[in-house]
Structure 1
Amino acid sequence: MNIGRSDFITDQSSHPYREKTDRAIKKRPPWREYNLHIVAFFLVVISMFIGVRQIKITETASILLLPLIYALIMGLGLYLAKPIKFVGSKQSKVAEGAMVLFIGVIIAKMAVSSGQAISSIFHVGPALILQLFGDLGTLLALPVALLLGFRREVIGMASSICREPNLGVIIDKYGFKSPETRGVLAVFVIGSIIGTPYISFLASICISALPLHPYAFAMASGIGSASMNAAALVPLTHTYPAMATQLEAFAGCSNILSFCFGIYMCIFISLPIAERLYKWLSPILGKPDEDSIDDEYAIEGVKDDKYAASEELSSGKLKRWGTFLVIFSFIVTVGNYIAYKTPMVDIFIGMLIISLITIIGMSLERVVPWNIQSIIFISLIGIILSIPGVPTAQYIVPYVSQIELTTICTAFLAYVGIAIGNDWEEFKKIGWKGIIVALIVISGTYLCSATIGHITMALTGII
């Protein structure tokens, strides 16, 4: 793959870290990293056994603690505390190299869900569809982040709501050690910890302070996160109990749309806009006279890395990809059974299906002459194969639909926790400023979605 080729989505050279990832996997075959996979396996098992825990703050606000957060924190803690000697820098780098593969599995799972629900999505009203553009409200955080001293981190921070699918997009495009990934991971972690109670509080204030229809607030609560969706809906149904059924329906449909298509909004619209805004605003709002927290990760430095030499698709690479994904599939299968008691054979078959879609998508990225990201291929393949009426759907959907996205993300974040240990000092620099940016990101998408939904319903005569 030629690093110098221009990305068809943005002007920036694409995947400066991709070949380095391929090299990392090739230099250290996955079957030799059994210690890493054993640790990840037990992190997932423990996390799924603990399950979802709710901490009530008030009658209408609570914090949901999810297994994926346990796995992330425990993985990072194991690396930093060093209680297990055989999880060190080498294993952290291997975990980092596997990110692109595991992201593909998440995207494939979501693509199958999108194809499965495509008919119902096309039948929803224009207000539900147009309010998706409220996701662009996250861009309001970009100039603030620049004023706070961030540099390219702002692209990851402000290009989306920074949930699991968006995390995958950023890592896939920029690489795990990039400042963009550091930014999206920071907002992801902060949002996971305080996002749920914050959006519940925000919804409570907005419902009483803003002259928008309750349906608009219900639509705005569907931002692609189940916990945030529920948290934002609680004060709304509490305020309008007679409309609870309708509000839940609007919120549910909106969340499905955000879940299925929010990632494409990020890829094709908000991420390119974020890159251009950064290019325009950083000379004005940035602080070039100060040390940037992403200077040492300059893209040119990565391009010159001795392990970043381009390499064609090979049987050896496919073998390593396949081995990684089989191991990952087994971990997810066990985790899914622990939490949801789903048939292990069905889950494993479903995981192998989306793993195969991932391998095909990543292979196409390397053989197709145009510079198209693998997640585009993976998404298209997953959607097309699972559309009702397509012959393959009857074989794919029954298995893949039994896999919970939470379990896949928990396994993914177990590896992420170990991987970010190597760069923990860089993450610490984000600090309290990251909290401010995260709150603006959440507020921006919620308020913009509610406003667009209200205006669209007013124009179409729904309200």
Structure 2
Amino acid sequence: MDQGTEAPAKITRAHWATSIALSTAVSVVAVLIGKHKFDLGPAAIALFPIIWAVLIGAAIGVQRWRPVSGATRAVSTVLLEISILLFLAKLGTEIGPSLAKFQNLGPAILLQEIGHIFGTVVIALPVAVVLGIGRASIGATWSIDRESYLAFAIERFGVRSPEYRGVFSVWLVGTVFGALYISLLAGFTGSLGILHPLALALGLGLGSGSMMLGGVGALSLLYPDQAAEIAALAALSNLVTNIVGFYSGVFLALPLCRRLYSFWSRLFGRDDNGQRVHAKTKETAAESAEETVLEVAHDPVARVTPLVELLSYLVVGAVGLLSSALGTWSFRVEDVIGVVVLLVIVRIAVALGKLLPMIPGSVFVLGIGTLLSANFLPTGAWISHLMENLDVMLIGLPGLALIGLTLGRDAQALKQLSWKVVLVALVTYTSSFLAAAALGQFALHL
């Protein structure tokens, strides 16, 4: 591992080699540790390679003995983006053959989206106001605050606003711990047997590929006979969230959140700084008005030439293929062709994302994978044959390892976060997932 905490001026082959070697090693170790389930009374905690990859990667990313440099983190970020899209492409190919099974689930998919939009506002917002984080409550609870919401908050509120601080804090906690937290939450909830596993799969359409990956892994371990349906339905739900979630969040959830914030603030006697109105003094008001701008470390930007881009795709594909082969103890020549097809889908989706930047690349990659594998197209049977031996959860494993390796970039900002904001972030994720799953359960039994 490379020495030093200062980001070097130039990214070298050594940094690429370090990132590739670490992510590969972490993925292999995570696969070898395997799956384990621990009963806790009527519930259970499911631990599986995705969780091990996040934990091991994070331990390496924050350790001080031989710190991961900013240049290595920059390389990891490039590989991470490709790896997550590769996972989503594979998920797309599992939606296509299952479309016929879900043709009657239209109301359930739409109804769960209401849970994602309003669950955070209704449940998490009053908690945030009571805890006293002030106007940051609005930014922290109008959505689960992924990248598109972060960009919107910068433009709409500005980086020194409490609303932006709330958005940034929830985004940061989700980036670092989201996949791990949702996997534990989904596994624990699924083991209770209160909600149908397909309703929980609907709830995983949070708009985050890594969070969905963690949740699908946990539910698949608990319900192996329905693993394919869980993965496909979660991906379909996530696709809907990515398409309509941002706009419904901006035009529906945010206005509602601002109105309810005023209501809860008056009810609980809090001002915009989170102070109790009757106990506020001039000194505390002045201190609370000082806004802290949370910032992550500024890593260098990796220069990606066409050759470097090609090699990055090949590396991500190879490590994903290795993880799948180790986890399934099976390998075919068709698996290699299948991974190549997935990488081509990813590259096309990235190109479309650049042409239409208002639409996330994840939407394109899921859509293309779904269409190509659908039974009503000539490519459907061929794509399904190529993909049948590839494990979708293991294909995405290197991406989770890379998230952990980049954690050092966010370590300082995490130290600045109040425990209250972290708690609000977890309540936001929980309320979005459970509200959507509950509404999905209702729709499934209509």
Task: Tell whether the structures are fold-level matches, with TM greater than 0.5.
Answer: yes
Q: CA deviation at 1:41?
A: 0.7
CA RMSD, 1 decimal: 4.3
**SS where residue 159 of structure 1 aligns?**
coil
Matches within 5 A, 1:41-440: 41-58=24-41, 60-84=42-66, 87-122=68-103, 124-125=104-105, 128-133=108-113, 134-140=115-121, 141=123, 143-144=125-126, 146-147=128-129, 148=131, 149=133, 159=143, 181-185=171-175, 188-189=178-179, 191-192=181-182, 194-196=184-186, 198-199=188-189, 219-222=198-201, 223-224=203-204, 225-226=215-216, 229=219, 255=230, 258-276=233-251, 277-278=253-254, 281=257, 284=262, 287=273, 289-290=288-289, 295-296=294-295, 317-343=305-331, 345-366=333-354, 368=355, 371-428=358-415, 429=417, 431=419, 433-439=421-427
Question: Does residue 1:450 correspond to 2:431, yes or no?
Answer: no
Percent identical pairs in the alignment equals 14
Distance 1:56 1:294, change over 3 A: farther
- Does structure 2 retain, via aligned residues, the 8 Å contact 1:153–1:184? no
Distance 2:350 2:443 in 1: 41
Look up the equivalent residue of 1:342 and give its one-letter code: S
Contact 2:197 2:223 in 1 (8 A): yes
Measured after TM superposition, the shift of residue 33 of structure 1 is 1.0
Give SS of 1:342's match.
coil
Partner Cα distance (1:152, 1:256) in 2: 34
2:22 counterpart of 1:39: yes
The structural deviation recorded for 1:37 is: 0.5
Structure 1: gaps of 5 or more residues:
1-23, 208-215, 235-247, 459-463
Give the TM-score of the pair, scaled to structure 1. 0.68
Query: In the TM superposition, what whole-angstrom CA distance separates every residue of 1:237-265 from its partner, at most 9, and x where no partner exists?
Result: xxxxxxxxxxx98x985x35641322123
Normalising by the residue count of structure 2, what TM-score does the alignment of the two structures yield? 0.71
Query: d(CA) in 2 for partners of 1:78 and 1:343?
Result: 30
Q: Once the 2 structures are TM-superposed, how far is the Cα of residue 72 of structure 1 from its aligned partner?
A: 1.6
Question: Runs of 5+ in structure 2 lacking a partner?
Answer: 1-6, 155-166, 205-214, 266-271, 275-287
How many Å apart are 1:220 and its aligned residue?
3.1
> Structure 1: how far apart are the matches of 2:362 and 2:43?
36
Deviation readout 1:297-330 (Å, 9 max, x if unpaired): 7xxxx9xx9979xx9xxxx643322211211111
Return the offset for 1:385: 1.5
Q: Structure 2: which amino acid aligns with 1:329?
A: G
Aligned residue identity for 2:112: L
Counterparts of 1:352 and 1:359, CA distance in 2: 11
Q: Which amino acid aligns with 1:383?
A: T
Contact 2:37 2:46 in 1 (8 A): yes
Aligned length: 387
**What CA deviation, in whole Å up to 9, does each residue of 1:110-152 have, x standing for no partner?**
2222222222221x35554454334445423552475353888
Could you report, residue by residue, the CA deviation over 1:346-395 in whole angstroms, capped at 9, with x for unpaired residues?
Answer: 333222211111111112233x3674332233233222211114232333
In 2, the alpha carbon distance for the partners of 1:321 and 1:178 equals 29
Separation (CA, whole Å) in 2 of partners of 1:370 and 1:197: 35
